[in-house]
A and B are shown apart, each in its own frame.
Chain A
Amino acid sequence: MHTDLPLFFTFHFYLFGLLAVGSALLFVTRKSPVSAALWLVNVMFCLAAEYVMLDAHFVGAVQILVYAGAIMVVFIFVVMLLNLGHPSETSDFRSKGTRLAAGAVALALAAEVLAIQRQPWPQLASPDVPDNVIRPVAQAIFTEYLLAFEVTSVLLLVAIIGAVTLAKRGAQPS
């Protein structure tokens, strides 16, 4: 991060960074797999916010679309089918924790208000945001990194074929 950025951006950049780290810690310490997965979704959101703060709007949107919207749904789908961990035993949303969380949110809000008061409001839109946000990404992918891009696609195809083969092997011949 540049040092000359307005406090508004700096504050939010670190706020989302802290939220991401906090969610990641909760993700690895939860007993219930479903709540762990949901904390991971929260990490994805915080990362998307970080990307947007760094003017990478496209990457931020795709982060939510692909990770939070597709991959994690499939992940939760599998976890639910296996039903790992009985939900009533592994509940982590106790009232004391809730109160602490509410206090933390209140502190964050108070800090935000302070940060906003300390300095004049930031510029609304940074002037160098390009009009078309997908063109630079597409240009890089389809010219300079075309080979890597295509090889990755082949890798995914191989993974799909592998999954189908594994699934077929277990099935009874009819």
Chain B
Amino acid sequence: MRTRRALLAVAPLLAACNTGIDPQRPIEDFWPFTILTIVKMVIVFTVYMVGVALLTFAERKISAWIQDRIGPNRVLWKGVGQVLADGVKNFMKEETYPAAAYKALFILAPALAFVPAMVTWAVIPFAAPLPTPWGLMSMTVADLPVGFLFTLAISSLGVYGIVLAGWSSNNKYALLGGLRSSAQMISYEIAMGMSTVCVLLLAGNVNLNTIVQQQATQGWNVILLSLAFLVFFIATYAETNRLPFDLPEAESELIAGYNTEYSAMKFSMFPIAEYANMVTASALTSLLFFGGWDIPFTTWDNVPPWSALKTLLTLGAFATKMIFFLFTFMWIRWTLPRFRYDQLMSLGWKVMLPAILAYVVLVAAVLLGLDAAGIARESRAFTGILFALNFACVALLLVVLDRGRLVSPAASRLRTAELSRLRAVAARSTLAATQGD
């Protein structure tokens, strides 16, 4: 009796599922589209927020592992509850506002730091499309025709949060942190944008799903455009303010940089924004250079007919790639020391920008030449030639960089000429100071 009643209750649901629409064609009806989009939004948001919270725990555990410590291990199972404990602590703390702060912007800034990182996720395709009773559902919250430009445009807004936090605090250390951050982000954004131009040259479109499909047929961009990947990878570290580029919050110089005056949950928003940016940067790296949701060495996952199994497996592939890059973020943080400010600027403007500009011209010329020679884009010869070219480029760049001329390690001795020049400057300023008195 009970089972029959349950079946009766489920029957309309089953009937609704049997729509007679071809599940391999994109959804056309309005209501299924809207409801499924809202479901996707909720799921992406939830997974994203929980993931960001768990990342803070992962960071502490990984740093402990790298430094041969144990790390948080008290709250709940193996210390995972530390995330909750930290959250509760941040909510319970008293919020303080500096008397001289510009209050409106002071309150707005933490949200401005966080929102762009999250909004970028609206256009990121995270798996192969899923067939549903109402049609084929794209595994992107919004499959925009300008998807890639949207990510660039929105991620360039993240700097507002940090700059405004620094300025509205009315604190000189915070202001210095904010200024450093805006200079750094603008400098590296240019190199980052140029490196993605190469990706667009290969894909011929700015739609992110097209870029994934192009990599599935031609090979991953990390092989075809290795130098662009290197530049992009370095630039993401600068854009997310992670070590070795965390100058905006250099503790030894600026207390905590732009977030010095913040307390309680408003302070906590900045680390959350940082982790959110890391997730987005990892997603973009795997999307643009590591084939997105493409499973390597097979092509069955990139072609119709689509199935739920394909969606699940490609989702796994994408998650694996992302988690690897997230781990790399932490790995590098606990391995490398911070750059000096002049090193940061010279790396950005004198090394990466000229290198990537020359590389864009080179890639464009080679693509033109290969097309003129009649070599098909999907052929092995095309992939081989681009790979050989990139191997040579990367080898050249690394050899040049390794000479210790362009980016001098902080520990290295100064050249004699440089040292005497610096001493002369110091002597002159001392002289000027004494004469001023």
Contacts and interface: CB of A to CB of B under 8 A. Distances in A.
Interface stretch (A16-24, A86-94, A106-114, A154-162): A86-94
Given A62-B149, A65-B153, A80-B163, A88 B100 contact: yes
B74 to A, nearest CB: 42
Nearest to A80: B167
B56 interface: no
A103 interface: no
B186 interface: yes
A77 B183 contact: yes
Contact of A132 (B100, B156, B157, B204): B204
A137 to B, nearest CB: 11
Interface string A21-64: 00000000000101100100100000000000000011011101
A91 B102 contact: yes
Q: Could you tell me the dominant secondary structure of chain A's interface residues?
A: helix
A64 B154 CA distance: 8
Nearest to B168: A87
B253 interface: no
A134 B205 contact: yes
A76 interface: yes
Interface string B78-110: 000000000000000000000111111100000
B160 interface: yes
A32 B168 CA distance: 12
Nearest first, the 4 closest Cβ-Cβ pairs linking A and B are A69-B156, A93-B104, A87-B102, A61-B149
Interface in B108-166: 144-146, 149-150, 152-154, 156-157, 159-160, 163-164, 166
Given A74-B186, A87-B101, A87-B168, A65 B179 contact: no
B175 interface: yes
Interface string B165-183: 0111010000100110011
Given A61-B150, A131-B145, A134-B206, A77 B103 contact: no
A73 interface: yes
Contacts of B104: 35, 91-93
A62 B148 CA distance: 11
Contacts of B103: 91, 93
Interface in B2-41: 28, 30, 33-34
A87 B175 CA distance: 13
A124 B157 contact: no
A144 to B, nearest CB: 21
A81 interface: yes
A14 to B, nearest CB: 23
21 contacts: A34-B164, A57-B144, A57-B146, A61-B153, A65-B153, A68-B157, A73-B182, A74-B186, A76-B164, A76-B167, A80-B167, A87-B100, A87-B170, A93-B104, A124-B33, A129-B145, A131-B205, A132-B145, A132-B204, A132-B205, A133-B206
B102 A133 contact: no
Question: B102, B144, B207 — which one has the most chain A CB atoms within 10 A of its CB?
Answer: B102
A73 B84 CA distance: 36
Nearest to A76: B163
Interface residues of B, number: 41
Contacts of B149: 58, 61-62, 65
Interface of B: 28, 30, 33-34, 99-105, 144-146, 149-150, 152-154, 156-157, 159-160, 163-164, 166-168, 170, 175, 178-179, 182-183, 185-186, 189, 204-207
Given A34-B105, A73-B159, A93-B103, A133 B189 contact: no
Interface residues of A, number: 34
A56 to B, nearest CB: 10
A70 B101 contact: no
Contacts of A70: 156, 186, 189
A77 B156 contact: no
A34 B145 contact: no
Contacts of B159: 73
Nearest to B185: A73
A129 B99 CA distance: 52
A9 interface: no
A11 interface: no
Given A64-B153, A73-B156, A121-B34, 17 more contacts: A34-B164, A58-B146, A58-B149, A58-B206, A64-B154, A65-B153, A68-B153, A69-B153, A70-B186, A73-B160, A76-B164, A80-B178, A87-B101, A88-B99, A124-B28, A129-B145, A132-B205
Question: B34, B99, B144, B156 — which one has the most chain A CB atoms within 10 A of its CB?
Answer: B156
A107 to B, nearest CB: 22
Contacts of B182: 73, 76-77
A162 B207 CA distance: 38
A9 to B, nearest CB: 15
Contacts of A129: 145
Contacts of B179: 77, 80-81
Contacts of B102: 32, 34, 87-88, 91
Contacts of B204: 132
Question: B145, B150, B164 — which one has the most chain A CB atoms within 10 A of its CB?
Answer: B145
A67 B425 CA distance: 39
